[in-house]
């Protein structure tokens, strides 16, 4: 099923799933995104010392990579004209993602709307969102999913499920071809029965 906007998605999550949401603010909500950016820019000038800003951070190290995430979440949103347009909206968030790989440092920022109430729940929602986007990117690169035109009946859902299963299966290869891309591993499995048997063996032991 396709939804026309993030507002539709938020409504479905709250009403049908009885759950909370954290949704990314992108250029399709240009004005709202700019307002949120300006809000956190003002707060940052005070060193994030505003009592209304909830904070949470994580830091991960491994294989020459250090990734730090700084989460800032505010429920001070009565000033937002858009508040009335989003179901159960409770706050806005910004995450700063700092990555260092072999001495090379990069930094990126992302902004969100949410119905959660704590910085920890905001962080959890962002991580889930990133996981979904990462999986979609992998599926598009490996299976060219965005180019697929399967639309009839349950075929799109069934095909998507099979692709995700295949993707997760080749991801587990840490011995035969760990340095090859997922796309390359899938291709090898389609041609090499021995490698295909190996993929099945590590997934169905």
pLDDT digits (tens, 9 = 90+) for 179-189: 777 778 877 88
The helix or strand, by DSSP H or E, that contains position 166, with its residue range, turns out to be helix 155-171
1, pLDDT greater than 50? no
User: Which pLDDT belongs to residue 109?
Assistant: 94
**Pair of tokens at residue 23:** 């949704």
Q: C-alpha distances in angstroms, 29 versus 23, 40, 83, 136? A: 11, 17, 13, 22
- pLDDT above 90 coverage of the chain, percent: 39
User: Which pLDDT belongs to residue 152?
Assistant: 66
Q: What is the mean pLDDT of residues 47-65?
A: 86
Residue 64 binned pLDDT confidence (cut-offs 50, 70, 90): confident
Neighbours of 115 (CB within 10 A): 20
């Amino acid at each position: 099923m396709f939804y026309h906007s993030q507002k539709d998605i938020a409504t479905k999550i709250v009403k049908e799933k009885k759950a909370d949401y954290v949704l990314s603010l992108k250029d399709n909500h240009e004005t709202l995104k700019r307002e949120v950016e300006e809000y956190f820019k003002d707060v940052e000038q005070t060193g994030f010392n505003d009592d209304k800003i909830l904070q949470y951070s994580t830091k991960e190290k491994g294989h020459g990579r250090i990734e730090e995430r700084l989460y800032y979440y505010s429920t001070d949103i009565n000033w937002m004209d858009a508040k009335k347009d989003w179901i159960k909206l409770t706050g806005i968030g910004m995450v700063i993602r700092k990555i260092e790989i072999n001495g090379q440092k990069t930094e990126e920022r992302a902004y969100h709307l949410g119905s959660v109430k704590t910085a920890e729940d905001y962080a959890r929602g962002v991580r889930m969102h990133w996981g979904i986007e990462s999986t979609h990117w992998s599926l598009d690169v490996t299976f060219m999913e965005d180019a697929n035109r399967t639309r009839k009946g349950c075929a799109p859902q069934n095909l998507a499920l099979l692709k995700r299963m295949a993707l997760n299966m080749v991801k587990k290869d840490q011995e035969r071809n760990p340095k090859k891309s997922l796309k390359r591993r899938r291709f090898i499995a389609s041609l090499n029965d021995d490698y295909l048997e190996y993929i099945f063996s590590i997934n169905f032991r």
